[in-house]
Amino acid sequence: MKRTTSLTVLTIVMMGFMTSCLKAQPTAPAMKAPTEKILIVYLSRTKNTKAVAEMIRSYVGGNLVELELQNPYPENYKQIVDQVAKENSTTELPLLKTKISAIEQYDKIFVGFPTWGMELPPPMKSFLKHSALKGKTVIPFNTNAGYGIGNSFNTLKKLCPGSKVLDGFTTKGGIERDGILFVMKDGRAVEVKAEVQEWLKKIGMLN
């Protein structure tokens, strides 16, 4: 009888102890630290740079925004080449229809564009000139017809002097002059996606 009583007491004490232990456990997993906010802004006429922007987003996430103009460029290739050459020779920049709300919320801003007249396209100059990018990390990416980035990355750096500019990405896109427009499909898309992944790892944006 005495033995049964002491066993019962022991059981009650142990149950009390276990309950208090359980209560001491955290009820929910700790909140994850907020991650960096990423913006991917791009200009694209024949959608090659857009395709690269989407590839970047598939790896790092973030908000994707396409730059649009208040007065769109002419469809005709020769006309747009002439207009861009004129704009590149003056300080006048095209007005943008796109307004990015609360740009200050972003830490890292990918900036994508085609090479136009071996330069940064005027709409991208306009975006960089009128955005508060001081203290932010700016990451350029580009497509071109095979003649490279020209002055575009240098011009970008000049237009965001208070930003940290990481090494940019460039790859061959379309050759509109020869009627080759969108090329980022099938095998080329697979190839470029792998190039993008390698670059993102190199600049520390991907593990």
Ligand X SMILES: Cc1cc2nc3c(=O)[nH]c(=O)nc-3n(C[C@H](O)[C@H](O)[C@H](O)COP(=O)(O)O)c2cc1C
Q: Which residues bind ligand X (CB under 6 A)?
A: 44-50, 80-81, 84, 114-118, 143-147, 150, 173-176
- C-alpha to C-alpha distance for 56 and 196, rounded to whole angstroms: 7
Burial of 30 (0-12, 13-18, 19+ CB in 10 A): exposed
- Give 51 or 136: the residue with its C-beta nearer to ligand X: 51
In angstroms, what is the minimal distance from the CB of 23 to ligand X?
A: 59
In angstroms, what is the minimal distance from the CB of 72 to ligand X?
A: 13
In angstroms, what is the minimal distance from the CB of 74 to ligand X?
A: 10
Structure token pair of residue 59: 């790896």
Q: With contact defined as beta carbons under 8 Å apart, do 127 and 94 qualify?
A: no
Task: Name the helix (H) or strand (E) containing 187.
Answer: helix 186-202
DSSP conformational letter for 134: T
- Give 43 or 159: the residue with its C-beta nearer to ligand X: 43
In angstroms, what is the minimal distance from the CB of 73 to ligand X?
A: 8
Q: How many CA atoms lie within 13 A of 109 on its CB side?
A: 27
In angstroms, what is the minimal distance from the CB of 84 to ligand X?
A: 5
Q: With contact defined as beta carbons under 8 Å apart, do 197 and 58 qualify?
A: no
Q: Where are the beta strands (DSSP E) in 8-144?
A: 38-42, 63-66, 108-114, 137-144
Name 172's bridge partners.
144
Structure token pair of residue 130: 């009128």
- Give 37 or 57: the residue with its C-beta nearer to ligand X: 57
- C-alpha to C-alpha distance for 82 and 101, rounded to whole angstroms: 32
- Give 120 or 160: the residue with its C-beta nearer to ligand X: 120
Among all residues, whose Cβ is closest to ligand X? 173
In angstroms, what is the minimal distance from the CB of 162 to ligand X?
A: 27
- Give 81 or 206: the residue with its C-beta nearer to ligand X: 81
- Give 131 or 144: the residue with its C-beta nearer to ligand X: 144
